[in-house]
Amino acid sequence: MDQEIYNTKENTLCRSYGVRSYELDAGGRLSVPSIFNFLQDAASNHALKLGVAVSQLQANNYTWVLSRIILKMVAYPQWGDTIQIHTWPSGIEGAFALRDFDIRCNDQTMGACISAWIIIDTNKRRPVRPKAFVQQLKPVDKGHVLNQPLTKLPALTEFQFEKRFQVRYHDLDINQHVNNVNYIEWLLECCDDDHLNNTVLSNLSVNFLGEALQHDLVKARSQPLDGDGLRFGHDILRETDGREMIRARTTWRSS
């Protein structure tokens, strides 16, 4: 059963999740999209307690949009394991509200994640400085779980692999555009079968640049960045106008 501990003094949330059979990948590990679903759920539950969940912001014509995220995995939980997602708001940098995640299982660190979020005025379709919400966010000054900067990634100049997808109704989130996790699922699909069967993801960095809507056609592309085939550049474009939805970089290791 999922459990939750909210530390009001330190403004941290720890939420536990049991790993279910349908959350595994073909190798029997907790899948990367499932991990991102857990992260998103933990962040949403913490935001709700702080009074800044999407449903609460939408009442005043605001919403959250994920802009950048980096995930590093050192090991993967398996079926029947219970993982703990520790999360906290970790600062304000310009237009970004930052949030960190520590992923643990059986008292061992499985992974870590840092993220940058933007608050959007839904009427004006423009970002709002998160400093206006700083009293509710109560950022925690305890350093970041990763030393990697949440930088703008370079554009993909060529590609070796390409897959096309059409946005379905069930790909949409509460903001009525493609859920962040679906983008990640699509970009991870855009590799050859041997690679997917013989490696596991160790690092993923994503810039979210645009929104795709129901019935849009998108194409995911990827390009190996080294001779070993363990580092890839990725992007996802909307077919109608070629606009970038995401840019990403992945690093893999042998499974």
Instruction: Look at residue 152 and tell me if it is in a domain.
Output: no
* Interacting residues of 111 by C-beta distance below 8 A, sequence separation 6+: 35, 71, 72, 73, 74, 75, 103
On whether both 126 and 35 belong to a single domain, the answer is yes
| 3-class DSSP assignment, residue 91 | strand
- C-alpha to C-alpha distance for 47 and 145, rounded to whole angstroms: 19
Report pLDDT for 159: 96
User: What average pLDDT score do residues 7-34 get?
Assistant: 96
| Predicted confidence (pLDDT) per residue in 66-109, tens digit | 999 999 999 999 999 999 999 999 999 999 999 999 999 988 99
The 10s digit of each residue's pLDDT in 200-238 is 999 999 999 999 999 999 999 999 998 888 999 999 999
Q: Within a domain: residue 156?
A: no
Domain count, the chain: 2
Are 180 and 125 within one domain? no
**Same domain flag for 232 and 189:** yes
* pLDDT tens digits along 156-214: 999 999 999 999 999 999 889 999 999 999 999 998 899 999 999 999 999 999 999 99
d(CA 44, CA 201): 25
pLDDT greater than 90 at residue 127:
yes
d(CA 71, CA 31): 13
Domain assignment present for residue 144? The answer is no
This prediction's pTM: 0.96
pLDDT, residue 95, reads 93
- Asked if 47 and 133 sit in the same domain, the reply is yes
Whichever domain contains 166, its CATH number is 3.10.129.10
